[in-house]
Amino acid sequence: MDGVTPVRRGRSGRTVLGGLLALVLAAAVTTPLTVTGPIAGRPGAVLEDVPGPEVGAPCPLDRRYVDERADGLREDVLTAWRRLRAEAGKQRVWLCLNDGKRSRAQQQREFTDAVSRFGTRELARRYVLPPEQSMHVTGIAVDVQPFDSAVWVERNGRALGWCRRYENEYWHFEYAASHVADGCPALLPNP
């Protein structure tokens, strides 16, 4: 040979099958995980373990914030989020989803970081809840930015099931269909 590697003219069935398997696995890894409900005979995903996006595109209104995809929100909450965003859009208001769904592990990182920043678990809990108490983990909470957009949600969201929950977090909203008829619960001082 003169330094040229010979090329095989035919592929065995095993090589073709291996290539197809690699393509299927690559597609599975890059396809976003969605929770669609139970499938008979298969275990369902545990919503609390489904991760949300780690980051999003910059918010077009204020680049200090991001606009995440709403991946991982509970199905009814995702529908309600899309409806809320559409209603806001009709009034020329843009809602950036700064934080939505988080897994237990993502929420634990947030809480651990807050404990480091504030020095104690008690102080950290004023701003970030541990995973077992966070509504972000259950897929029913969103953080809306910037400020004017969050104010719009506070004024208009109840009609669509969205309520602000904490006095010290103007951006944090939780969804429940019952809010439409029952109204929003009283604001809590902090998480």
For the chain, domains (ranges, CATH) are 48-182 (3.30.1380.10)
Residue 49 banded pLDDT, cuts 50, 70, 90: confident
What is the torsion angle, in degrees rounded to the nearest 10, for the CA atoms of residue 71, residue 126, residue 132 and residue 159? Answer: -50
Mean pLDDT, rounded, for 16-22: 39
DSSP state at residue 36 = -
- Return the higher-pLDDT residue of 89 and 2: 89
Residue 154 banded pLDDT, cuts 50, 70, 90: very high
Per-residue pLDDT at 38? 41
pTM, rounded to two decimals: 0.74
Burial class for 124, CB neighbours closer than 10 Å (0-12, 13-18, 19+):
buried
- Return the higher-pLDDT residue of 118 and 34: 118
What Cα–Cα distance (Å) separates residue 139 from each residue in 22, 77, 90, 171?
A: 32, 7, 25, 16
